[in-house]
Structure 1
């Protein structure tokens, strides 16, 4: 299996694109390499080398008969906060990884003088991640509770891999923001330049409406399950989350845990360990979160995040709208190629039908693998997704590089669903008052940090987007340049067909 290009993104637009672009010239994958003996239940290798055949189970299920809902959970936060460890512990506690495998990882971590990293090895499966102790790729795994099937997306926390984090978060329904309670670590992640802030802003922009803030490492010697430390973190984060657009009372929940020990994860923490916590544990919160699902009867939309050859052409993605069945005739946009659905796989199981929120592999005929790029969209023929080279958008400027001016001619990298494309701001149409939402009288020549502006955006190649008002998940985007997120926005208008 081919591995993700490990080269750190250099500064500049071209390097930012290279960090994420999955095209036909680079058979890379944003999924973790799982050829290391991990149990079959815990792993899902969501990309395969070209020409490699897989043998999915012959079992066929009707998706509509499945009673459990499906949710994608992305673990986000600053590097070393404990995201991979919590993901690994979640799989272990839910029975997806057995004791023998844990013992194997413990020995492997000890041999590398990294005793405390063994749980992270469940999610961080390639050698670079294990040596460096940081996630590079977006790891994937599955677990279930009584009512819900979950897909874990373990996103990189290091700032050099933010484009990969965007790829993971764009598919997520719930964000689990991992904060380290250890003295100094929370402050490092929260301060300017730390990834806690950028991850929160990106998650909100990418449509992660529900956020669970887990304060990790509560058992650490500098913390010792201190209520004062937990309250301090909750207070500071609540203020910031509110400023980032989250309704803290309605859409955010805080809870203390120890990812390494599994405390307050599957079962509630014992009073002898933490006398002041009377709230739920992690699994209870995940089970109770209500997330609106897409319309199963709406026009079909599945952004393609990866593709490979396997007895035909197979594409992967998350269904944002509509339903898909074996035998369906669909369209691949923006190249307008008609295809027929040969088979559909959900969580490695062949299904007859699948609806919104499901992560799928779809085998189809009528198109070659090399004619598909990441960011193309599988959609209904009757109402296809628009393919455009420019659109009108409303942008909020988060920050600008030193000496940079945001005006016509400004160039950046556009991230919208699975699309990564170089773009140019070709016109500033109007500036909007953030408080009144009314247009300012004078047409702006340039705008500064914090400004809200309507502008015309042009891309080099045809891309698939929707108006935010029609399909929010396909109409929200971020602009990045030189490794920083400079603006977030939503598509407000498209050119007439």
Structure 2
């Protein structure tokens, strides 16, 4: 609307002016994509495609995925080379955060990697299995009391794994975050707390401050969301010598 120069109004208590909705929308800066962080790509599925091989599928959360990169999958600790990256049946030279991609990996069986695993750059802060983690949780609706030893299912990125509330460290005020009580015996609906959690099966998570999409989770039990939380710190398990495919060794030597 080139004829429209914005609007002005004069009232007794002062004048005001404004723009059109479209002009206001044009002024909004798009959010920056976290391309500067190391790669994190939680797997949504893994397919076996005839004539191509194993194709894990997932969304790039942080960093950049490129063909020729050597990636490590956690917590299974498998390292391999990325042959190609595709989005909507088109080959990509790089995949950025927010892109849902499939990527072909060499010498890896469909049994080696699965949904809930996380792919990352083997040379730049590779993802690792979490032995345990400290989280800040808010109990939304639980009919009883939650005490240490409670082991519901956690949904974090694409992982769906039972985790144990190993220790209730402190109860906090849910608005200010101030400590209310050390070592509470139990938690009930409406409470916020800092807790130590231990996964029942190998799992890869990150702290919310480092990788936000991998540091948020929902606690599910009795077919409902019992609590939500963010991960404050992760106790990473130093992986032993995992499976490194021949193509990954070649690619690493070439560089």
Q: Please confirm whether the aligned pair reaches a TM-score higher than 0.5, indicating the same fold.
A: yes
Summarize the Cα distance change of 1:435–1:342 in structure 2 as closer, same or farther, 3 Å threshold: closer
Structure with greater helix percent: 1
Match of 2:134 in 1: 392
Aligned to 2:111: 370
Query: Once the two structures are superposed, what CA deviation does each residue of 1:168-187 show, in whole Å capped at 9, x if it has no partner?
Result: xxxxxxxxxxxxxxxxxxxx
Give the Cα–Cα distance (whole angstroms) in 1 for the partners of residues 27 and 113 of structure 2: 38
Q: Deviations over 1:14-40 (max 9, x none)?
A: xxxxxxxxxxxxxxxxxxxxxxxxxxx
Structure of higher RCO (CA pairs closer than 8 Å, 6+ residues apart): 2
Q: 1:185 maps to what in 2? A: none
Cα distance in 1 between the residues matched to 2:42 and 2:83: 18
CA distance in 1, matches of 2:224, 2:28: 31
CA shift at 1:288, angstroms? 8.6
SS class of match (2:111) = helix
Structure 1 residue ranges (4+ consecutive) displaced by more than 6 angstroms after TM superposition: none
Q: Is the 8 A contact 1:293 1:357 kept in 2?
A: no
**Is 1:325 aligned to residue 66 of structure 2?**
yes
Corresponding residue for 1:434?
Answer: 174
TM-score under structure 2 length normalisation = 0.78
Q: Distance in 1 between matches of 2:177 and 2:92?
A: 47
Q: 1:442 to 1:457 in 2, by over 3 A?
A: closer
Contact 1:303–1:417 (Cα < 8 Å) also in 2? yes
Deviation of 1:396 after TM superposition, in Å, equals 0.5
Does the CA-based 8 Å contact 1:389-1:460 persist in structure 2? no
- Of 401, 407, 431 in structure 1, the residue corresponding to residue 147 of structure 2 is 407
Equivalent residue for 2:252? none
TM-score, normalised to structure 1's length? 0.41
Match of 1:307 in 2: 46
Structure 1 residues 325 and 473: CA distance shift in structure 2, 3 A: same
Q: Which runs of 5+ in 1 are unaligned?
A: 1-277
2:91 counterpart residue number: 350
In structure 2, what is the Cα distance between the partners aligned to 1:342 and 1:323?
Answer: 15
Give me the whole-angstrom Cα distance separating, in 2, the residues matched to 1:369 and 1:289. 43
Name the CA distance, whole Å, in 1 between partners of 2:40 and 2:160: 18
Q: Distance in 2 between matches of 1:480 and 1:441?
A: 25
Structure 2 distance, partners of 1:482, 1:435, is 27
Q: What residue is the counterpart of 2:12 in the other structure?
A: none
The structure carrying a bigger strand percent of its residues is: 2
- Corresponding position of 1:334: 75
In structure 2, distance between residues paired with 1:409 and 1:470: 28
* In structure 2, C-alpha distance between the alignment counterparts of 1:328 and 1:350, rounded to whole Å: 15
Q: Does the 8 A contact of 1:400 with 1:449 survive in 2? A: yes
Runs of at least 5 residues in structure 2 that lack an aligned partner in the other structure: 1-19, 239-255
Task: Report the 3-state secondary structure (helix = DSSP H, G, I; strand = E; otherwise coil) of the residue aligned with 1:330.
Answer: strand
Q: What root-mean-square deviation, in Å, do the aligned CA atoms of Structure 1 and Structure 2 show?
A: 2.1
Offset from partner CA, 1:403-444 (integer Å, 9 cap, x none): x21111212110000000112211100011223321124420
The corresponding residue for 1:473 is 213
5 Å matches for 1:179-198? none
**Pairing 1:381–2:122 present:** yes
Structure possessing the higher radius of gyration over alpha carbons: 2
Counterpart of 1:79 in structure 2 is none
Distance, in Å, in 2 between the alignment partners of 1:399 and 1:304 is 30
Q: Is the 8 A contact 2:209 2:232 kept in 1?
A: yes
State the partner residue of 1:141: none
Quote the Cα distance in structure 2 between the aligned partners of 1:352 and 1:436.
Answer: 45
> Could you say if the C-alpha distance between residues 291 and 443 of structure 1 is closer, same or farther in structure 2, counting changes exceeding 3 Å?
farther
Matches within 5 A, 1:125-136: none
Distance 2:147 2:60 in 1: 36
Q: For residue 294 of structure 1, what is the aligned residue in structure 2?
A: 33
> Does the CA-based 8 Å contact 1:304-1:377 persist in structure 2?
yes
Whether contact under 8 Å (1:425, 1:456) holds in the other structure is yes
